[in-house]
Amino acid sequence: MSEETQNQNAAASHYPAFDESAAEQSHRHTLTMVVRDRAGTISKVVGLFSARSYNIDSISASNIDHDRELSSITIITYGTDRVVRQIISQLERLVNVFYVTNVTESKDRVLREMALIKMRATGEKRLEALTIANSFHANIVDAAQDAFIIEMMGAPQKVDSFIDLLRPLGVIDVVKSGPAGMVNTSDALLEQISSEED
């Protein structure tokens, strides 16, 4: 082996090439935002995604303060870190959007999702479904002679696994809320909004 080849191998072992493709891999991001509860706010947020061909995997919204007319929106999207940073920057420029948080970036994140699963199962399959539900701490919220509804709440991956286990036993309908997320820090973002409005 020539001296030049040895030097090249040594350089490669000590200084591996940066893998740009790995840095640009798309993955799932959970974005939460607090917005002013006004007609058209959600459509503007969704319009920003569609106009730029950003994909929305799920979206959920709910009023969190009736007196101050504030709502929370949670969006699940796929993209590279660079693209998601661009999305957040563009969302924060929209009228009626106070702040946007990428929950996925924090190790202190909490994600929960609720699902209602309707099943048609009798005999051993019904018993097995109830046993699985009990092991996942799910609740039977309604039951009839030939069907029953299970309520499951937990991390999105756990909810998906639960539904997959039940499918062979007679799942006939599923409704999911979409994930809700929050970062467990002492930041008082709602109080900051109040101080900005005063």
Q: What is the 3-state secondary structure (H, E, C) of the chain?
A: CCHHHHHHHHHHHHCCCCCHHHHCCCEEEEEEEEEECCCCHHHHHHHHHHHCCCCEEEEEEEEEECCCCEEEEEEEEEECHHHHHHHHHHHHCCCCEEEEEEHHHCCCEEEEEEEEEEECCCHHHHHHHHHHHHHCCCEEEEECCCCEEEEEEECHHHHHHHHHHHHHHCEEEEEECCCEEEECCCCCHHHHHHHHHC
At residue 197, the pLDDT reads 58
Predicted TM-score (pTM) of the model is 0.72
Tell me, what's the pLDDT at 147?
93
Confidence of residue 67 (pLDDT cuts 50, 70, 90): confident
Question: Across residues 74-91, what is the average pLDDT?
Answer: 90
Q: What is the mean pLDDT of residues 88-93?
A: 91
For residue 34, the model assigns a pLDDT of: 92
Determine the average pLDDT of the residues in 36-64: 89
pLDDT tens across 166-196, in order? 999 999 999 999 888 888 876 666 666 655 5
Q: What's the rounded mean pLDDT across residues 11-21? A: 45
What is the structure's pLDDT at 183?
Answer: 84
Q: What is the pLDDT of residues 119-171, one digit of tens each?
A: 998 889 999 999 999 999 999 999 988 899 999 999 999 999 999 999 999 99
Write down all domains in the chain, each with its CATH number in brackets. Answer: 23-105 (3.30.70.260), 110-180 (3.30.70.1150)
The pLDDT mean for the chain works out to 84
Work out the average pLDDT over 30-40. 91
